[in-house]
Structure 1
């Protein structure tokens, strides 16, 4: 009996991200395997339901309003952002591996904290650096990257994930294993690296602060459950079923 294809492979097949030889092999397997075929059909059904329920015009309207608010409220930053990026697997995202240093020369301006538990900031593209408010849809421009910061408070561990419009969940920090210990102090701390999301459509980013260590796998699974409970509508997902404080942001990729 041959092994089943992983859900990751089937999702990439559905999204058209597999190279031709691997796509041909995975398609042939799914056609002859009831289990893998059912998973693939489920992905296709979820996508069709999402497209029927959430017309693209609705996203365009939200993006336009976000752009208008940004142009009216923000002025161009005199600082330029570091542009070094390193490509990672499957074209899901690009990650800048250079460790961020607070207030170090030209680069990310991290001097502006907030009173919130967590902060998401966008920059690196043609537009100005800006902070994204939780649960408001913010448009990304090509080449822009995302940084995540947090204020630990009494929490001791931190991790972050993202999920796109087809339910693809990506562990952002850390990429595997167990949540990382928070940095000491009451200031806003920034997670190492930055992320450039590829593809198009909605992307939800979630940062979780916990009192006890938790596995990245459990966080990914909780995100998948929340996506399924929202019937594949990533912008309508409820808070994740995990202990601790969590902050959600909605992005729209061009």
Structure 2
């Protein structure tokens, strides 16, 4: 029996990249020349742009599926496999009906092996996103919201922005205290154009305080400027000027 040809699965026009190609583009697995070709196509194709948006949103793109619950089930229930939610199965069937079961298994394996799930609170699908990378030796690797961190971990931030505007990363400690995680000092350029994968310069080291902290990427329109936000407690997003939007990333620091 021949294995299914995942490279042939596609939506859109015949000249659009296959779903497998877009998956590899999202995972950073394509050769440089193929990456540039796929990125150029996605930039000029409305439908493929939407397909990439779904991939970046992960489980957050599926209505009724909470990515945090899915990841928790996967982490704690590998010895007792549970059926996937019906909404998730329906979403998979729509995109590749002949291979729905294989695709479902691939999605679960992707979450376990790459930990790409991010909570979707306070952001529209495929728009504002905060990616947190942790330095490990001579490279950095992307982390997952809600994961464990240690005092002294060095982090850098990469953001996806739906429009030009000002960017700030704020942190809320378990006590509710608000602090600025980025920029690190006054005078740093905080205005960026619309785009994905925008690296914020510099890195931050986590302090010795254990417990849960939440980072919030704050994005404000150009006319608002860098925001002046106030804390609303440990489990609530800070209040920022009208027009600004936020998206969270949870850190759980070990003692």
User: TM range, normalised to the smaller chain?
Assistant: 0.3 to 0.5
TM-score, normalised to structure 2, is: 0.44
TM-score, normalised to structure 1, is: 0.44
